Structure 1
Amino acid sequence: MVKVNIPTTKLNNGIEMPVLGLGTWLGIDEKLQFLSSDVPKLIEALSYAIDIGYKYLDTAHLYRVEPEIGEVVNKKIKEGVIKREDVFITTKVWQHNHREADAIQSVKDSLRRLNLDYVDQVLMHWPMSISPDGIDEKIDYLETWKGLEKVLDMGLAKSIGVSNFNVEQLKRLLANCKVPPVVNQVEINLNLGQKELVDYCQSQKIVVVAYSPFGTMMPSRQPPDSPEPKLNNPLMLAIANKHGKTVTQITLRYLYQRNIVSIPKTVTKSRLLENASIFDFNLDENDVQTIAKFDVEYRTVVPVFWQNHQNYPFPEERQPYKEDIPLCLRIWKNGANADID
């Protein structure tokens, strides 16, 4: 079996975190239903990923797959493939749990579902606080952060961070916290470089983690107005051919050279191996300049149903929208059979 060797980066608390991991959000279909049918594929992919050397698994309460992730990790520990300290597991606190006590309970519940004593990282999933009924609870994310700081003190997590925070929200958090966030997980890809946000995070020793690193490059995520590059883009293909790599590998390498961690999701074994095989070449300055031109500030993940809620992080990108928040983002149970609280 081919093994991969993924480097690590040091967080501002001294802990090492792999620079590439496996995202486990399976997504929702056109009927706004969670894609639970893909859970068996995810279990198989997780098992293979650990076998070939992946050490960073990114999940969340929202993703509904904490039980399966815990099952695979514990199985691999029992088999002697890994030790618990070999794998870096991130989970997230959802918007329903932004009161200090609720944030702590959310992490305890995640640990119960994962069947683990601790996680390596807990993130505040979004800065907004929204009830399962879709009501804006207007809880200050500073209160939520106090809950995460207590989670750290309790030994339930080794590190704490945020997700989907903008620069102003980060500045306010840093000015009012005891423990600074170790990461900010946000959408970053070739169309959405987020230079200002990345520069600020890196100046504050906050590691940037990119979700949706391929953006609309994938055929399944291409609205009619989405910009280049796609997988068949001539400029990207030329760079890929020059280095003997694929367009997606060039994309991940570009982010890595910006000192950005990526968590691409896939349930395909060949892609797991491909995504992690980016550490044996370098993009030159011409490559970097060519790729940088695709950054047109085009956001793939725009949750417009939250845009009128307090602390929505993209206020300048509001769009006409009158639908309710999808039920699948408000009420759910975990696990493939949706039967675990």
Structure 2
Amino acid sequence: MAMPLTTTHRVFNFSSGPAVLPEAVLREAQRDLFEFPGAGMSVMEMSHRSKPFDRILEGAEATLREVAGIPDTHAVLFLQGGASLQFSMLPMNLLTAGASADYVITGVWGEKAIAEARKVGAVRVAGSTEAGGFRRVPRQDELDLDPSAAFVHVTTNNTIYGSQWRAMPDVGSVPLVVDASSDIFSAPMDVARYGVIYAGAQKNLGPSGVTLVIVRKDLLARSSPSLPTMLNYAVHAEQGSRYNTPNTFGIYILGLVAAWMRAEGGLAALGVRNARKAATLYAEIDRTGFYRGHAEVESRSLMNVTFRLRDESLEDAFAKAATAEGLDGLKGHRSVGGLRASMYNAFPEAGVEALVHFMREFERTHG
């Protein structure tokens, strides 16, 4: 029996993740969902060791390497478990016996990362902005870095507080490791500078369920054979991300997103567009004082714009009215309240313009 057709209406999705995907990617996936070209079956049905999936996985990696400038010195892994598993997996692989690692804490995710690392080995807090409510990232002169550390861990962008590193700190010769889940490839990135970059895919790269890990190949030697197999970077690198069955459909979508990024002009063009979107919204927040930004100006995120109303009692009404107007996902994280507009790579500029128009109308009627 055929299912009845329904009329759909896509809203502007400001959710922090899982987040908006490029419309072109969704349409291509929809077209190929029933039968992937040349395979006679859906991507969700094919073996992860089949030749059609070989093309999908190898194509996704090759396109990512091209778009992001990932050098041959780094392995690209498609894993599972999200960034939260990397909080444990990273120190298990890189924090060798007798060594210590430095963590810079700029929000909840950094706190969670160091809490898991403490279960593995010795760690130090090399810098923190907790005392100021995580409204900014530290200055270089505020960091207490150990030149003999196994690695330095930084969270590049803080979804909850709306702060972002505009430039990575200088950590000398120590491997720089970053959780880039919420701003990965939102602008050009010198991948060669990093020991490890990891990110859950569900914000800028694809659907939830895929975790991208980019690791410098020389660091794979630190992965001890005594580690559980599924937690060993070296094993996953040797097996081409297919020691076990990976998230095949998620990798397929990630490959489509990488191709979309290339078609949009690459990371440089996306960076310009993302900066323009954020500047438009911050200008409205700063315009009259009816709204106020949470993060300090020099640390403001281009991905997650966090703000409050001067009269905080109006915030629930704002979020509900915005949702009714097709502006979804604007309520702030439950731990800090307020409002948050997440605007990742695929979020359209028309959505920012619609939000600004709504904000002005809300101010007119409630100001």
* The two structures share one fold, judged by TM-score above 0.5: no
TM-score tier by shorter-chain length is 0.3 to 0.5
The TM-score normalised by the length of structure 1 is 0.34
The TM-score normalised by the length of structure 2 is 0.32
Task: Name the one with the larger strand percent.
Answer: 2
Give the number of the structure whose alpha-carbon radius of gyration is greater: 2
